[in-house]
Chain A
Amino acid sequence: EIVLTQSPATLSLSPGERATLSCGASQSVSSSYLAWYQQKPGLAPRLLIYDASSRATGIPDRFSGSGSGTDFTLTISRLEPEDFAVYYCQQYGSSLTFGGGTKVEIK
């Protein structure tokens, strides 16, 4: 099983700042089959990025994904008030697993 480790666990930032979230895999994720989700309290996760760097339908271009192999990054270029949430990475190159999440909170 591929274990995904997200860091940091919590990121405290102000609106307008840049957020950089990391997702590390215990082994290489084939074909960059990695996705990112945003989850707000009481709601289902929302797909942001798939195949490591492709934005899902309707996702603003301030969200971008990068990486390959075992190291992946989600970047939010300028935080909007609605971006404060928990973010999860998920790999689907070998079975399917999720990371533990990074909470982006208002500083």
Chain B
Amino acid sequence: QVQLQESGPGLVKPSETLSLTCAVSGYSISSGYYWGWIRQPPGKGLEWIGSIYHSGSTYYNPSLKSRVTISVDTSKNQFSLKLSSVTAADTAVYYCARDTAAVLGNFDYWGQGTLVTVSS
């Protein structure tokens, strides 16, 4: 059974960098698929942030691209998200998920999500 678990600080100060990690178990990232980050502001809808392949190939949401970096560590079977220059608008539940497609597709396995609040 594929399982994903997000981890990272729950509180980040404005203008700083948000950093999260997604640990994957039950499946080797090196075996394939893209792996993505999606966020959901409180009471609002879903927003795709970006996705990464085990080779390091990435796709980002154009609206966030200038502030986002997604990386992968196949030795630890995990991938990470960095979002720079955060503001209150970046307050959200952040999910990591497995993308089923060869490139960008839909997400079949999700982490439970982690709430990140941007506040001083």
> Which A residues are within 8 Å of any B CB, using their own CB?
1, 33, 35, 37, 43-47, 50, 56-57, 88, 90, 92, 95-101
Residue of A nearest to B48 (CB): A96
Residue of A nearest to B36 (CB): A96
Range, interface on chain B: 20 to 34
> Which B residues are within 8 Å of any A CB, using their own CB?
45-48, 51, 59, 61-62, 95, 97, 100-101, 104-108, 110-113
A92 to B97, CA, bound (A): 15
Distance in Å from the Cβ of A94 to the closest Cβ of chain B? 9
Q: Is the CB of B104 within 8 A of A92?
A: yes
A to B CB contacts below 8 Å, 25 in the list: A35-B106, A43-B112, A44-B95, A44-B111, A44-B112, A45-B95, A45-B107, A45-B110, A46-B110, A47-B106, A47-B107, A47-B108, A50-B100, A50-B105, A50-B106, A88-B45, A88-B46, A90-B106, A92-B104, A95-B61, A95-B62, A96-B48, A96-B51, A96-B104, A101-B45
